[in-house]
Structure 1
């Protein structure tokens, strides 16, 4: 909109005139959401509604708003599930090393609320990763249908027994 309010005209009458002219041109017809209730109208008042709505629209987690110490705690707690899908031990150790670098940086210069966190033992994570993979492999083998297992063939004798006379 490039039109400016003329001098000597109140904002209310200027805005009313613009709305009336837009209605006459049909600019308010077929708008998305027309005739539908306003979402969240009955919800309790929330001063951060816009932030929650934007984060939901962007697919972001509220974890990004946590202080660094709590973010690190949550990452340490989620580590076993995160490494479960990794293919190699080197990938597991690399992920643990990257997390330990961030933990050490926070321990050198903590900010925000203090939370008891420490470095993660890579050997322990790898041991648990191996145990989880072995258990998953054994469960998969146990659930394998009989058709996947090789069928036993009937034994045939290379000769037939004849009654001797």
Structure 2
């Protein structure tokens, strides 16, 4: 009995015969990311690892990080009014988060930033 070979199967067989699949990068090695576990988010985790994407922080932690990085943020500011505006905007975001209902998260414990203290520190660095 003669076996039917589709056009695609013939193309693959001929390419194999020509050696076009020999010495491919990763040949004989396990496929990365296949750990045998059934993880529905495997592709997201792989994308985040490949693209070096950091997961977003919860709002309170993001604001704390912003407060901690405030000196670096203000390092390029050349005008005191710009410094005041940036700190005022940060304080506004902190107050807005405080006003939101908790909804399953711990209460926000991020203190507002003292504008005058930050301006004085900025002047010393400038």
TM normalised by structure 2 equals 0.63
Which protein has the larger Cα radius of gyration, Structure 1 or Structure 2?
A: 1
1:77-103 C-alpha deviation (Å, 9 max, x unpaired):
111222123222222222212211211
Q: Distance in 1 between matches of 2:124 and 2:13?
A: 72
For the Cα contact (< 8 Å) 1:69–1:113, is it kept in 2? no
For residue 23 of structure 1, report the CA deviation from its aligned partner: 2.0
Structure 1, residues 46-79: CA drift from partner, whole Å, max 9, x if none? Answer: 94553343234555332x1x22112111111111
Aligned equivalent of 2:3: none
For 1:23, the equivalent position in structure 2 comes to 12
CA distance in 2, matches of 1:18, 1:124: 76
> What residue in structure 2 maps to residue 35 of structure 1?
27
In the TM superposition, what whole-angstrom CA distance separates every residue of 1:13-53 from its partner, at most 9, and x where no partner exists? xxxx79745623649848x84537434567xx694553343
- Structure 1, unpaired ranges of 5+: 1-16, 134-165
Q: Is the 8 A contact 2:33 2:46 kept in 1?
A: no
Aligned in 2, Cα 1:80/1:53: closer, same or farther, shift over 3 Å? farther
The 3-state SS of whatever aligns with 2:107 is coil
Higher RCO (C-alpha 8 Å, min separation 6):
2
Compute the TM-score of the two structures, normalised by the length of structure 1.
0.51
Corresponding pairs, count: 113
- Segments of 5+ residues of structure 2 without an aligned counterpart are 1-5
Does the CA contact (< 8 Å) of 2:94 and 2:111 recur in 1?
yes
